[in-house]
Amino acid sequence: MKCLATVAVLLSLIAGPAFAFDVGFQEVKIPNGAEPALVAGVWYPTNEPAAPHALGDVTQTVAPDAPVAGNHLPLIVMSHGGAGWYGSHYETALALARAGFVAAAVSHAGDTFDDQSRVLQLWRRPAQLRRLVDYMVDGWRGREQLDAARIGAFGFSNGGFTVLVAAGGIPDLLKVEPFCEAHSDQDLCRALQQAHVDVHAVGEVPPSAWVHDPRIKAIVIAAPAFGFAFGKAGLGDVRAPVQLWSAADDRHQPHPNYDEPVRDDLPHAPEYRLVANAGHYDFLPPCDTRLSQVRPEICKSLPGFDRAAFHERFNAGVVRFFRAALR
């Protein structure tokens, strides 16, 4: 009986906590060299009671600046899509924190909703993500409660691209110009045009410009942008386990030029999840009525697709993957 009890305890540790934590939250500023500080959000387990608080245009149930609960906590860093911000995936961050992770998301300066000035200077993004990891393990107030050997990364769209680079990928941006000449009607290429990005002016980026972070041991990517820019050689050094989510009806990044090249060219097959009837922006949290009116292009789902129900499954799948990959 004693052995059985010991086994039960070990299994519970592997599966994660048997109860959900409340969630603490902080907004932090991260030194960024000669540039203005990066702004990030941090969600983490706490034993303090949570209450509704505004986060930009949404409401999240958190305990601001509460003490961190637990020790040897795994860390997940998060990278938003183009024209997003650190709160873009707050719902997934909350789910991770309730499950005993620390989730930290950075607003990528130059590619946020209020600053598109450097949208195709994509090499800036993984460098900013590395600064986030540096801050969390060296400067964050709860750093001593983190397990620096268990770090994962989550990214959506441009953030998926970012996380692939952070995990070892090297893209070739010279492929963007011919791609957009051949696919000028695709949303990605139109978005670059609307951001006043001249794809013809994109020069060769040396491999040394792409910042990697070997501390990242597992990655989750959803609808990665610029998937066509890598190839087998460009993804050959991505050795971390990968969970790849794809929207079956992605009209912003239509198949087969984004998700499929990543899926097929990774050196080890990812855990691949194709979501039926989903569109590109269904990986963002469900919208309230006000946001649906202001940003219908990111809020509208196809008839019959329940974004709220999907996000319950999506967040559970992300938590399960990181629990298994970051043991």
What residue ranges do the domains of the chain occupy?
19-176+207-325
pLDDT of residue 57: 87
Q: What amino acid occupies position 7?
A: V
Residue pair 171/165 in contact by the 8 Å Cβ criterion: yes
Q: What is the rounded CA–CA span in Å between residue 2 and residue 19?
A: 23
pLDDT digits 0-9 by tens, 83-114: 999 999 999 999 999 999 999 999 999 999 99
Confidence of residue 265 (pLDDT cuts 50, 70, 90): very high
For the whole model, what pTM was predicted? 0.93
Confidence of residue 290 (pLDDT cuts 50, 70, 90): confident
Confidence of residue 63 (pLDDT cuts 50, 70, 90): very high
pLDDT of residue 194: 83
pLDDT-wise least confident of 5-19, 216-230, 302-316: 5-19
Task: Give me the architecture of the 19-176+207-325 domain, per CATH.
Answer: 3-Layer(aba) Sandwich (3.40)
Over 70: is that where the pLDDT of 19 sits?
Answer: no
Q: Helix 90-98 vs helix 307-325: angle between axes, to the nearest 10 degrees?
A: 50
Cα–Cα separations (whole angstroms), residue 190 to 149, 199, 324: 41, 11, 39
pLDDT of residue 64: 98
pLDDT of residue 1: 41
